[in-house]
Chains A and B, each alone.
Chain A
Amino acid sequence: MRKPALVALLLATPLLAACTENVKAADDSGDSRTVSVTSTDDGCELSSAQAPSGTLTFDVTNDGSKVTEFYLLGEDGQRIVGEVENIGPQLSRQLVVSAPEGDYVAACKPGMEGDGIRADFTVTGSDQEPSVSAGDQQQVDQALESYEDYVQDQSDQLVAKTRQFVELYTNGEDDAARALYPEARVHWERIETVAESFGDLDPKTDAREADLEPGQKWTGWHRIEKDLWPPATGYTPLSTKQRAFYADDLLGNIETLDGRVQKLTYTVDQIANGSRGLLEEVASGKVTGEEEIWSHTDLWDFQANVDGARVGYEGLEPIVEHKDPELAQTLEERFAALQKLLDAQKTDDGFVSYDRLSHAEVRQLANAVNALAEPLSELTAVVVS
């Protein structure tokens, strides 16, 4: 009984070692890169007003009576280099930033109001000087713009395909509706983390039967999915009138979603979190075949989640490339490895049905998802640092 478990553990070791390579080396130059900050209702005390360049750690303790925040700002006192929010009274939180040589402003903001209590902070040159790129802001702007375009475009296509889909479905053209179902869903799944952020719409459009609460009416994609791929026994097909109701309801909600999505703007951490979130969607629903239990079109959703995650990441890649090139390389390799496994399941008109996958194939996909999701969980911290 013990032997196989041991083998599994041994296999896991090199993988884990690889994932942690990106973690910044522990500070071997003493504690000079760690600064204690004590924030009170009327003070902001730093254990040192300067530090050598590199990865700096600010240990912020709130000795005041109100929630506080700590900021490391650029020389102009405006540009945020790093921040840590929501530090309750008597609690501590850590800010880790990568800071090149230069003049900075440190600020505590007890009560989260006004400009905060500020003091000059100097970073002196050292042999751990982080590389700076003048293109930083430009890279950020570009990432934001291309992500906005992507989401808007996917949302447009989602509306168009959903309209076609519900028309086929209400007209009783079931074969055509079944063929279009996964294609329309792809546009939802590519932007799923954005779509899901509207708590009122998500349960009406994407709820699975098992997610329902007592008294909640089941509507949306999966209601129609079940009607198009009904269980062999014990199921009463929907009438034409019922079909029209569910179809209108779905389209209406998708149009409302689109109206909201077109107005959204993003920040880099939202994009990074979205990218990570999409991989979590894969790990928790698609790789297990729980998303599309009637149609078994899970691999379409799987691919679409990965597409969305990759697009989000690729926009940020130039930033990651210069802040943590090793992470960039790991992510690139693991996106590619996962894509290779997905490509192997492609067919002329899409993907192999989930229920046709062997256990070994599902296992491989799951391992590749974990291998990618683990380093991807560092993305947000890297892009905002």
Chain B
Amino acid sequence: MTRGLPAGRIGPTEGAVDLPPDDTGEAIGLSASGLTITFGFGPALFRDARGRDRFGIADRQPEALRTLPHFPADVLDPERSYGDLCVQACADDPQVAVHAIRNLARIGFGTVAVRWSQLGFGRTSTTSTSQSTPRNLFGFKDGTANVKAEETSDVAQHVWVADGDDAKAAWLAGGSYLVARRFNMNIEIWDRQSLGDQEDFIGRTKASGAPLSGGTEFTEPDFSMPGSDGPVIPRDAHVRVVHPDFNDGVRMLRRGYNFVDGSDPLGGLNAGLFFIAFMRNPDTQFIPVQNRMAKVDALMEYVKVTGSALFAVPPGIGAGEYVGQALFA
């Protein structure tokens, strides 16, 4: 499918008239649209709820691959959380991404079952300096200070699991951890905040994305610059709270998506940011930063976390190999 070919051996319309087609057909005529598929393994693949070894691989469970702790403001829907396996399909055309998930789920019936899924759009984060910065549903540029592919030493330090990081899980070297968090935004209430307040909550301007300490989008924020009442980038501004300077230098690769799942029962948008981040070690990266955010971040007034999951993403595969080969071998 990543090459734009049908999901099965026969094709969406080529097979026998008395058999269901082995490709579901909604991608006929569409290109591969940059489709990529990422797989991850959840903690429950290694051990069940009672800690029992499920498939004889418990001794290879990565140290940091545990169910994420409960964070303040988490109101998790178990039907949108956790999972044994994760399949992420990304494409320039959502129809192609859905096509991939639909056909993989179909092929998997009997072996695996879908626990939950989330459709996102408009990637909220740039991951390369060649991309312009998109906006999230709060209307702010998102991804300005993200780890970029061009920052090779930061990518090595913060994103990929290195050889020797985890003696029990040598198979994960060259892979990464994927954190998924479904942030429901309180859209209607956010929209009633003044422009100045919205900018204070984020710590950047809405127009250009420049830090409130001045400059243009990519100017480094100056957290010590005084403002009329405390620093000009307020103490609870999101970018200050999560910035590496206040988090032991920790960074992560954010790669979230906007989502709108229709409306809620009271007519508000059921929408927000499906936060996805890749990192070398959630114990030292995501968990402390998320905890700090939940405690002091001004944005927390306007969000609620309704889904949560952690997966270990094995390294990419070469010709003739299968996903996670080093784990199962």
Contact = CB atoms under 8 A, between A and B. Distances in A.
B225 to A, nearest CB: 6
B280 to A, nearest CB: 23
B266 A287 contact: yes
Contacts of A373: 188-189, 192
Task: Give the bracket for the number of chain B residues in contact with chain A.
Answer: 35 or more
A157 interface: no
Contacts of B186: 283-284
Interface string B275-313: 000000000000000010011000000000000000000
Nearest to B234: A86
A301 to B, nearest CB: 17
B264 to A, nearest CB: 9
Nearest to B70: A214
Contacts of B75: 210
Contact of B71 (A213, A280, A367, A374): A213
A381 interface: yes
B196 A93 contact: yes
Interface in B28-56: none
A85 interface: yes
B315 interface: no
Contacts, number: 92
A15 to B, nearest CB: 11
A233 B225 CA distance: 54
Interface stretch (B120-128, B174-182, B205-213, B242-250): B205-213
A221 B216 CA distance: 47
Given A213-B72, A213-B295, A69 B228 contact: yes
B316 interface: no
Task: Give the bracket for the number of chain A residues in contact with chain B.
Answer: 35 or more
B20 interface: no
Contacts of B72: 211-213, 216
Given A67-B227, A86-B232, A216-B72, 17 more contacts: A62-B214, A67-B226, A69-B228, A86-B196, A88-B232, A91-B205, A91-B214, A210-B74, A214-B69, A283-B189, A287-B266, A359-B265, A366-B266, A373-B188, A373-B189, A380-B194, A381-B194
30 contacts: A62-B214, A67-B226, A67-B227, A67-B232, A69-B228, A86-B232, A88-B212, A88-B225, A88-B232, A90-B216, A90-B219, A91-B205, A112-B227, A211-B73, A213-B71, A213-B291, A214-B70, A214-B71, A280-B192, A283-B186, A283-B188, A287-B266, A363-B266, A363-B267, A366-B268, A367-B267, A370-B267, A373-B192, A377-B192, A377-B194
Interface of B: 69-75, 186, 188-189, 192-194, 196, 205, 210-216, 219, 225-229, 232, 263, 265-268, 291, 294-295
Interface of A: 8, 62, 67, 69, 85-86, 88-91, 93, 112, 210-214, 216, 276, 280, 283-284, 287-288, 359, 362-363, 366-367, 370, 373-374, 376-377, 380-381
